[in-house]
Amino acid sequence: MGLIVSKGINLFFFLNLMTMELSPLTAVSPLDGRYRNAGAKLAPFFSEAALINYRIKVEIEYFIALCELPLPQLNGINKDLFEPLRAIYKQFSLADAQKIKDTEKITNHDVKAVEYFIKEKFDELGVPIEYKEFVHFGLTSQDINNTSVPMSIKEALQEEYLPLLNSIITMLKESAKDWRNVPMLARTHGQPASPTKLGKEIAVFIERLEVQLAQLKSIPFAAKFGGATGNFNAHHVAYPQINWIKFANDFAKDKLGLQRSQITTQIEHYDNLAALFDAQKRINTILVDLSRDIWAYVSMDYFKQKIKEGEIGSSAMPHKVNPIDFENAEGNLGIANALFEHLAAKLPISRLQRDLTDSTVLRNVGMPIGHTVLALQSLQKGWKKLLINEAKIAEDLENNWAVVAEAIQTVLRREGYPKPYEALKELTRTNTKITATSIADFIETLNVNDQIKAELKKISPSTFTGVDLF
């Protein structure tokens, strides 16, 4: 306590925070605090309660699958019980989750606490006692975790991430179409270069995103389901006549929507999960690139931003309208990628048949997805504020007539003109301003016919934009 006081921390406030209920104001993670509106959307997939619920779903569906096989000892179960059993996870509540957490304090084992909860529910439903020990029959905890986690990731991506990413791509397509005929000065190495079109520059990002999105969608959501070391030891010793490989494959695919890895240790390989995270990282990197480019265009006054009543751009400079949404997107994408990087590098590595490091980091899979979702929302918000400033774009083109040098020297090459590159170099690399007039005067000095001169004089920064690519 003395240390806290000596550092000037308000002791009363500190102690108060320590005892407060978790809220957006007391949360340590910004996803649960400042950005709770974004983080809350992922709570049904990645919260502690959500993980427990997914575990219950796997356990219940596994029990029902054993009944449908059927195992001889389960042949007599009343199939009318199946839907009430499914209601255990379909109607799962925070009170249920808390009850399981209270049990975990005693068991010191999270999956075993789930098993005990389900057995209590069996008693409430009047399931005959002889059936209860087939809950979690022959399984290890990772049969539950390595099906629950990929299922949660799959559903989070399908319900939250992919719709948002697709809306970003649609937004870019609309802008690319609107701006497809807007000529713009290109910049290579930050210097004026051969002109382009604004719509085409946006279309570059569309293609990159769509290619990587297709790769992401091709990655299967893999599951591990095979007992304590992956060999169905317990299953096989109890029922050697049953094809447990087929059972597990069908269960993972038909009941859980997952693809079962065939030869595993106690845990899933995580190679496909690593590939999934790497794919998301690549998409995020593209979006960082986009955010930075738009930031640069805003700084160049190619875009202005819609002003919202009451908003302040700078605490000191009233005139400023800062591109904060693109900066927020870039920052959150960076955090997401750092976490994706660690997850992808760590998860496929485990000592011998298994250590516990995978469990530790798997609990964080929602964090990079959360920061990615937050970034996508910021990017979308910022994009809706953009107002194209065509006058400034046109002004930059007009101030950079030197960029037509490439066009002129290429036509001269076509005509067999001697050393055309050197002739244009002599004109343009003088640190003097090149204008429409100086270009026209230069063309007049060329030893070519009037038809070629007329062709060259039609070239301008706003017309020298190449072919339409989309």
Q: 3-state SS of 282-305? A: HHHHHHHHHHHHHHHHHHCCCEEE
> Where does residue 257 fall: left (phi above 0), alpha (psi -120 to 50 degrees), or beta otherwise?
left
* Residue 196, token pair as written in the block: 């382009």
* Residue 466, token pair as written in the block: 């190449």
Residue pair 144/89 in contact (Cβ under 8 Å)? The answer is: no
Residue pair 407/428 in contact (Cβ under 8 Å)? The answer is: no
Q: Is 291 a catalytic residue?
A: no
* Residue 262, token pair as written in the block: 């065939």
> How far apart, in whole angstroms, are the C-alpha atoms of residue 29 and residue 43?
13
> How far apart, in whole angstroms, are the C-alpha atoms of residue 106 and residue 90?
26
Ranges of beta strands (E only) in 64-220 are: 183-188, 191-197
Tokens 């179960």 sit on residue: 77
Cis amide bond preceding 70, omega within 30: yes
Which candidate in 6, 189, 218, 315 is catalytic? 189
Residue 191 dihedral angles phi and psi, to the nearest 5°: -105, 150
Rounded-to-5 percentages of helix, strand, coil across the chain: 65, 5, 30
The DSSP annotation for 96-117 comes to HHHHHHHHHHHHS-HHHHHHHH
> 387 - beta bridge partners?
304
CA 4 to chain centre: 39
Which candidate in 29, 93, 299, 314 is catalytic? 314
> Where does residue 468 fall: left (phi above 0), alpha (psi -120 to 50 degrees), or beta otherwise?
beta
Please choose, from the candidates 366, 291, 287, the residue with its C-alpha nearest in 3D space to the C-alpha of residue 44.
366
> How far apart, in whole angstroms, are the C-alpha atoms of residue 428 and residue 425?
5
Give the DSSP letter of residue 225.
Answer: -
How are beta strands 191-197 and 222-223 bridged, if at all? unpaired
Please choose, from the candidates 430, 431, 424, the residue with its C-alpha nearest in 3D space to the C-alpha of residue 403.
424
Residue 301 dihedral angles phi and psi, to the nearest 5°: 70, 15
* Residue 75, token pair as written in the block: 């042949």
Residue pair 55/144 in contact (Cβ under 8 Å)? The answer is: yes
> How far apart, in whole angstroms, are the C-alpha atoms of residue 346 and residue 169?
31
Q: Is 314 a catalytic residue?
A: yes
Catalytic residues: 189, 314
